Amino acid sequence: MSRSRAPRLTPLGPSIALATPGAIADAARLIRAGRLVGFPTETVYGLGANALSAAAVQRVFRAKGRPRSDPLIVHLASAEELPRVTRSVPDAARHLAGAHWPGPLTLVLPRAEAVPAIVSAGRETVAVRVPAHPVAIALLAAADRPIAAPSANRYGHVSPTSAVHVADDLGHRVDLILDGGPTDVGIESTVLDLTADPPEILRLGGVTFEMLRLSLPNVVQRVLASQDARSPGTAMRHYAPRARVLLFPDGADGWRRALATARDIAGRCESIAVLGPDRLIEEAPHGTLLLSWGASDDAEIARRLFALLRRADSEGVDSIVAVLPPPGGLRDAVRDRLTRAASGRVIASDLT
Ligand code: TXA
Ligand code: MG
């Protein structure tokens, strides 16, 4: 018997589908059936499950290899759905939702009983946000369920900003990945605890401290702590590539030291990447993998950061020499992620 075409092979890759209306409907059916769906938000890709099903949420923890002590964010199609998942909605929440939703702000509020305790790792609170991505909103509307979704990466790894990143990390552990292209913000949402007095930023992200202070003058910011029971996802080594990250301060001394270190490592013929703005990258030694985040556009830096860290891994680089951007605005969230990728260590400059 002759065969004109190659035999059909069992697909080896995970199921990535362009986020067409049909694929979104399939994904919504999967969510209702308690399965896992990777989907785009404006920040990073999420690994979604029905937030009202303990069994479905359990699958999320297993697929990510995430400790059960680290709570998940619940996504809603609109702020009107808040009473489905929260016991009460303080005025500040209404106000902030009006100003920032849909968008990269997560609010920690009192948890309604309908939300299984596993979602919040046993806390009395629940973290909620309305994402600003048409695919996420369409999925939430079609599923007609709140969707619990952490970033769709293996625990501790860099968050995914494309569908391929999700497939690389989770493969067959996810039932379907909706491809909505690269994400726009590129880093995760800002997590704000409104059950604390004064309200406290647990994680900096797409909404800056300066923006929050406009509507919430008494907001405080958590200092970078090695481990914190209130928001366990802020562990010091997090958002980390496989490669070792050697992180240097912003400014002329930091840059000089970074380049000297890069030359040193390259001189030993070890594989190395340099990560930073164009002006630094131009000075990187020959043979270095160049990871430029552009000139000085904050949004661009945030958008590119995680893909650059993943690129270093896919190129098999052993070390990444990186510099911090200057403080302020969205750059503070980038500084936070880079510092965690470097296990909390910024190498002080000694060249003055
Ligand atoms: O942008 C984002 O926030 C993305 C997209 C998918 O929405 N999600 C995300 O989720 O980054 P995840 O699980 O990677 O990070 C959630 C963070 C963790 O640091 C977790 O500890 C914290 O939010 N968190 C969740 N629920 C909490 C709660 N009830 N109290 C305090 N922190 C909470
Ligand atoms: Mg995460």
Q: Return per-residue pLDDT of the chain as tens, 352 residues.
A: 444 444 444 445 569 999 999 999 999 999 999 999 999 999 999 999 999 999 999 999 999 999 999 999 999 999 999 999 999 999 999 999 999 999 999 999 999 999 999 999 999 999 999 999 999 999 999 999 999 999 999 999 999 999 999 999 999 999 999 999 999 999 999 999 999 999 999 999 999 999 999 989 999 998 655 445 555 555 567 788 999 999 999 999 999 999 999 999 999 999 999 999 999 999 999 999 999 999 989 999 999 999 999 999 999 999 999 999 999 999 999 999 999 999 999 998 554 4
Query: Measured from the CA of 152, which atom of ligand 1 is nearest?
Result: 6
Ligand 1 pocket test: which of 47, 72, 133, 224 has the largest number of ligand atoms within 8 Å of its C-beta? 72
Domain stop point among 221, 236, 270: 221
Backbone angles phi, psi at 303, to 5 degrees: -65, -35
Domain stop point among 169, 188, 221: 221
Indicate if 190 and 333 belong to the same structural domain.
no
The pLDDT value recorded for residue 237 is 73
Alpha-carbon torsion (200, 203, 209, 211), positive or negative: negative
Query: Residue 322 region, left (φ>0) first, then alpha (ψ -120 to 50), else beta?
Result: beta
The pLDDT value recorded for residue 232 is 54
Residue 230 lies in a domain: no
The pLDDT value recorded for residue 9 is 45
Residue 238 lies in a domain: no
Beta strands 46-50 and 147-148: pairing type?
Answer: antiparallel
Indicate if 58 and 149 belong to the same structural domain.
yes
Residue 346 lies in a domain: no
Query: Measured from the CA of 191, which atom of ligand 1 is nearest?
Result: 23
Backbone angles phi, psi at 320, to 5 degrees: -115, 120
The pLDDT value recorded for residue 92 is 96
Indicate if 159 and 30 belong to the same structural domain.
yes
The pLDDT value recorded for residue 222 is 80
For the chain, the domain total comes to 2
Query: Measured from the CA of 70, which atom of ligand 1 is nearest?
Result: 21
Ligand 1 pocket test: which of 61, 68, 73, 202 has the largest number of ligand atoms within 8 Å of its C-beta? 73
**Secondary structure letter of residue 329 according to DSSP:** T
Domain stop point among 161, 188, 221: 221
Indicate if 293 and 148 belong to the same structural domain.
no
Kindly give the distance from the C-alpha atom of residue 22 to the centroid of ligand 1, in angstroms, as a whole number: 29
Indicate if 152 and 22 belong to the same structural domain.
yes
Kindly give the distance from the C-alpha atom of residue 21 to the centroid of ligand 1, in angstroms, as a whole number: 28
The pLDDT value recorded for residue 7 is 46
Smallest-distance ligand from the CA of 133: 1
The pLDDT value recorded for residue 8 is 47
b/e per residue 211-235 (b: at least 16 CB within 10 A) = bbeeebeebeebeeeeeeebbebbb
Indicate if 84 and 209 belong to the same structural domain.
yes
The range of the structural domain enclosing residue 67 comes to 8-221
The tens digit of pLDDT for each residue in 238-297 reads 788 999 999 999 999 999 999 999 999 999 999 999 999 999 999 999 999 999 999 989
Residue 281 lies in a domain: yes
Indicate if 200 and 270 belong to the same structural domain.
no
The pLDDT value recorded for residue 131 is 98
Kindly give the distance from the C-alpha atom of residue 44 to the centroid of ligand 2, in angstroms, as a whole number: 9
Ligand 1, atom 10, lies closest to the CA of: 150
Residue 179 lies in a domain: yes
The pLDDT value recorded for residue 352 is 43
Residue 275 lies in a domain: yes
Indicate if 79 and 195 belong to the same structural domain.
yes
Q: Cα(75)–Cα(51) distance, rounded to whole angstroms? A: 8
Smallest-distance ligand from the CA of 71: 1
Residue 239 lies in a domain: no
CATH of the domain at 197: 3.90.870.10
CATH of the domain at 286: 3.40.50.11030
Indicate if 67 and 191 belong to the same structural domain.
yes
Residue 351 lies in a domain: no
Tell me if 185 CB under 6 Å of ligand 1: no
Indicate if 170 and 251 belong to the same structural domain.
no
Indicate if 250 and 125 belong to the same structural domain.
no
Indicate if 12 and 78 belong to the same structural domain.
yes
